[in-house]
Homo-oligomer: A and B are copies of this chain.
Amino acid sequence: MSDILPPGSVIGILGGGQLGRMLSVAAARLGYLTHIYEPAANPPAGHVADRVTTASYEDADSLRAFAASVDVITYEFENVPTAALDLLEAAKPIRPNRRALAVSQDRIAEKDFLTGLGLTCAPYAAVSDMDSLQAAIAQVGTPAILKTTRLGYDGKGQARLRSADDAGAALADMNGAPAVLEGFISFTHEVSVIAARGLDGAVSCYDPGENVHKDGILHTTTLPANLSLAQRTDAVLLAARILNALDYVGVMGVELFVTPKGLIVNEIAPRVHNSGHWTQNGCAVDQFEQHIRAVAGWPLGDGSRHSDVVMENLIGDDILRVPQIATEKHAALHLYGKHEARPGRKMGHVNRVTPK
């Protein structure tokens, strides 16, 4: 256990949103302090962190001071600029490692990596201009979806092509950014596996949850998912293969489409994941603590599921329903301390917990 970060050590977290907030709480529970690095002022994670640096990812002095003040660095979002990571990594270990970030920052790199592991993704082709888009349409077919290769999330930087006629409009939506055309696949539902890998190489996966999206944003995750035992085993083994291949340390979210022909990987996120929020009220050790355990060199904890849970995201004006939800039986609320309830903004979530 000599790799364990001593009590009182400081875990640096890049990003100060709700994921950083819940990571901070988990770190405290294990006896650590956290230092948040976040460009935006008054980040949700700052309310429960020991320290906050408000500075951009281009501010080399602030990055250096941050790195000097912490013992290990992790992140709550994957789009940290490469130059900032170079600078940070020169001073302190970054977990999960750079390869996980490189792969997940670029949709094409991610799909190449996954298919290289023998996993199945939706058909895809790189798009940089109208010629390559036409070739991609010929290869992938329509309907399809064109996405920027970088920096897209929650439906942003995406355009649908019902037919080849939509090519011009979709390409214009990319604003000249490198893109990837993804074919649609026929799936019955989406599940995700929250997988963790420790510094010692041990892998532990949470029971897969079933996701329902609304307006391109996760709406609910339901445990147990509608999966056969064989599918459940496939999902977990597939996630473990990804983590091992990356020599990954931490928690990863792996989104899967369930099809009659097997599981197809939709995307991976090298961090704690919205579809893993149910673990806060369904397991002795939740995804946030599991991530901190991995990053801090602890053995992974017991993530077995003790209850059935339905996690519901509270988006924008859903926050107005909190007084009603607060009176519900079985309801565990988790609010993010965001002041302004903009449309599409994740304001909190509720885990509804019932016996298995």
Contact = CB atoms under 8 A, between A and B. Distances in A.
Interface of A: 1, 4, 7-8, 21, 24-25, 28-34, 46-50, 281, 284-285, 293, 298-299, 301-302, 304, 306-307, 319, 323, 326-337, 339, 348, 351, 353, 355-356
Contact of A21 (B21, B24, B28, B49): B28
A20 to B, nearest CB: 12
A82 B355 CA distance: 46
17 contacts: A8-B337, A21-B28, A29-B333, A29-B334, A31-B335, A31-B336, A31-B337, A32-B337, A34-B47, A47-B50, A48-B48, A48-B50, A299-B327, A301-B331, A302-B329, A302-B330, A355-B356
Query: Which 7 A/B pairs are nearest by Cβ-Cβ distance?
Result: A31-B335, A284-B332, A1-B323, A48-B48, A47-B50, A299-B327, A28-B48
Given A7-B337, A25-B48, A299-B327, 20 more contacts: A7-B339, A8-B337, A25-B28, A28-B47, A28-B48, A30-B333, A31-B336, A31-B337, A31-B348, A33-B47, A33-B337, A46-B50, A47-B50, A48-B49, A48-B50, A284-B332, A285-B332, A302-B331, A355-B355, A355-B356
A48 B31 CA distance: 11
Nearest to A341: B7
A284 B50 contact: no
Nearest to A33: B47
A293 B333 CA distance: 11
A335 B48 contact: no
Q: How many copies does the complex hold?
A: 2
A205 to B, nearest CB: 16
A85 to B, nearest CB: 27
A4 B284 contact: no
A285 B299 CA distance: 28
Contacts of A331: 284, 301-302
A284 B46 CA distance: 25
Contact of A326 (B21, B24, B301, B356): B301
B30 A48 contact: no
Contacts of A25: 25, 28, 48
Given A25-B28, A306-B307, A353-B306, A7 B335 contact: yes
A61 B281 CA distance: 42
Contacts of A356: 355
Nearest to A26: B25
A119 B186 CA distance: 68
A46 B34 CA distance: 12
Contacts of A323: 1, 4, 298-299
Contacts of A332: 284-285, 301
Contacts of A336: 31
A353 B298 CA distance: 20
A37 B236 CA distance: 47
A106 B66 CA distance: 48
B339 A8 contact: yes
A285 B330 CA distance: 8
Contact of A328 (B298, B302, B327): B302
A48 to B, nearest CB: 5
B339 A306 contact: no
A330 B302 CA distance: 6
A247 to B, nearest CB: 22
A284 B356 CA distance: 14
